[in-house]
Structure 1
Amino acid sequence: MHIKKGATVSRLLAGVAIPKMFHARQTFDRTRIAPAEIPTVVHAQLSQDAFRSRILPGSQIAITAGSRGIANVDIITKSIVDFVRECEATPFIVAAMGSHGGATPAGQAAVLAGYGITEQTMGCEIRSSMETVEIGRSECGVPVAIDRNAYESDGIIVSCRLKPHNAFRGSVESGPCKMLTVGLGKQRGAERVHSQGMGLIARNIPSMAKVVLERAPVLFAIPCIENAYDETCHIEAILPEDLLDREPELLRYAFTRMPRLIVGSCDVLIIDEIGKNYSGTGTDPNITGTFSTEFASGGIEVQRTCMLRLSAASHGNALGIGLASAITQRIFDDIDPEAMYPNCITSTVLSSARIPCVLADDREAIQLCLRTCTGIDRARPRVVRIPNSLNIGAIMLSESYYADVRSGRYQHLEALDAPCPLVFDESGDIEPMQV
């Protein structure tokens, strides 16, 4: 499908005024672990006897690496690899990402390479396979599968990010338990986790993780948590026997580290770039309010959302576009259904992959959203613009917010300049915001 610029749609949108915008800074707690300190932190965690003693000399140790965008993931992974070698064991990395990467070994290896995780950079073998082993059934009767390479190793180290999920709420959400069941479950295991619908996934993940912890050689987990600036702020090793108790506690902490759009509501949200490196659904609904199911809520209250670009790191997986009101021709042309649809088939959630209104350029995508809003002050529409859902320290706001921001109505939000017109090039596009 190709949108013809200058035809009927363009004529209908030509008179829609886009408000002046100003740059603003949101300030959040910035407790963090500097990248240079990460190897030391990882080493300190794993050097505790309870963890080090589990890595036996000469053993083959599987280390998980997934598809989520994780700050410093290459440094964290390499630090674990180096520690395993220090223990005189042989590390290898397992691509643990469910159905992502097009649900193919090559696709999943390519995703890892995009994050800087290759055999050359890590100094160890990467085993990317979709082959799994059946290891039992959960107490809910769901069959449990796990990556064969990991299962047949002498020990598994679960490395991942721990954070709120984008489609459900539960005692555990995105974290080690999900990595054990969805990530290491590959396409087959991930499909089974989701098979009874998102309404039951909060039950399935911990009950299936219990089976993996009992029957697979899991040594320990070492999840990381990020602050509001997409920076590593916490790394903690957890013994398998403690995981089902400790992960919920860390999830509560992770919620307190989440950023937010401080203004709370808007008429139109502009997202410069979406992608799997930002969220499983392209953009984190905990920030943007664009949830794919009724089993989670939060984020900014918004009437229309437009998405302008797809990240190269997504490899054509544009999952999340179905939650937008409008996307650009640029995103549409970048979609690879073979990379995107396996996620839908596996999760049973189709809404994230539906095609919204496709517009010729950035200007018209924004104009369509403004024109189709209802019950708003058209002379002073409330527009928020973000670079992506991970980096929202620097944002843009329309002039309707300016007086309130300047007066101090919004705590931890300051204006950096005065409202000015957005600058579009001759193609109708705008330069991406600087992160």
Structure 2
Amino acid sequence: MGSTTFAQEVAYEEYDLDNGLHVILQQDNTAPVVTVGVMYHVGSKDEEAGRTGFAHFFEHLLFEGTENIERGKWFDIVSAQGGNNNANTTQDRTYYYETFPSNSLQLGLWMESERMMHPVINQIGVDTQNEVVKEEKRQRIDNAPYGKIIYGTGINPHLFEKHPYGESVIGSMEDLDAAQLEEFVSFNHKFYNPNNAVLVVAGDFKTEETKKMISDYFGPITNNAPKPERTVIEETPITHTIKATEYDSNIQIPVKILAYRTPKMSARDAYVLDYVSELLTGGKSSRLYKKMVDDQKIALQVLAFPRSMEDYGTYIIGALPLGDVSLKTLTDAMDEEIHKIQTELISEREYQKLRNNFENQFVNSNSSVQGIANSLARYYMLYGDTSLINKEIEIYRSITREDIKRVANEYLQSNQRLELDYLAEPAQ
């Protein structure tokens, strides 16, 4: 039997301001550190056709400055107080955060309220960040080996014909170049409102003082638009194998990719697929690594990118051949292991190891105030249940060996996937 790790329950309080801003407070006075995070319910799936990349662009643009924060000074202000900050964008949300020594909490709240209430969106900021985003795309996708796999730009368009998940988060540079300033202003008005956001404060603070500061700084912010209404775009089920080839001028070794469309992040089966992913490709002790890299020596590496999203998910597995091993040989080896999970219950020992791994991951995700702030915002916004910060581990604990077999059968069939040959660019 494996050991069981128990995470300490995260105590939190949540409430709404009159303008619709959801607030979550998680007080922990054990260290003099505090994180202020604001998550906006806007990601690449909310963009209009022909205007991809707006959500990610805004992640950059809203660091430009505000009416009361001089252009280009955001990071200087934070670092001068011994803090750090960052932001990130997914298909579903955009998240900004600062972590400060706790005596700078007021500064963090003021800065995020400034970002929400007084952003300066002008042509010089748009032009500056346009170049920054282009360089990021060049570094991460265009000029990076396997960049189109890592960021899904060579995969998602094959899995999603209707849903915006088929577009890349970083978007099209042509779309950004073509956009007018008023379009950026309009995007801000539509999505960057209190009614479309959650504010999280986690760490060392005094509750009543903090509530008053939140009321003072965020309470006066008005909504420029009603809360966005979304309808989930239903994809047609994949019933025939999709075969595709992509080329990458930055690589010498090809990759065989098998990619599946999977359930949305809040579905219980998405949690079961996390177990399947860990079993097949979770590190050097995983089934595919041991079989293909260690034992048969047909693969240089195996890889996996399980991605849960608000409306759907994807599970991407692949392998790099060793020497002149064919991509078909890699496919056959991966399919053999998938078939085993579909036809045989995994061993009790493997099952216990999986459970222990996920318990450890769960504990580690809540081991810092920064991690807790992110988790609270994400569970509230994308799962609609903040209490998952304490209860999610029970979902993983409830998964049975029979669940693993059932889910592998339901979602990992060869006629429901993309088979991608990812090849070096042929010589001209």
Shorter-chain TM band: under 0.3
With normalisation by structure 2, the TM-score equals 0.22
The structure where helix makes up a greater share of residues is 2
With normalisation by structure 1, the TM-score equals 0.21
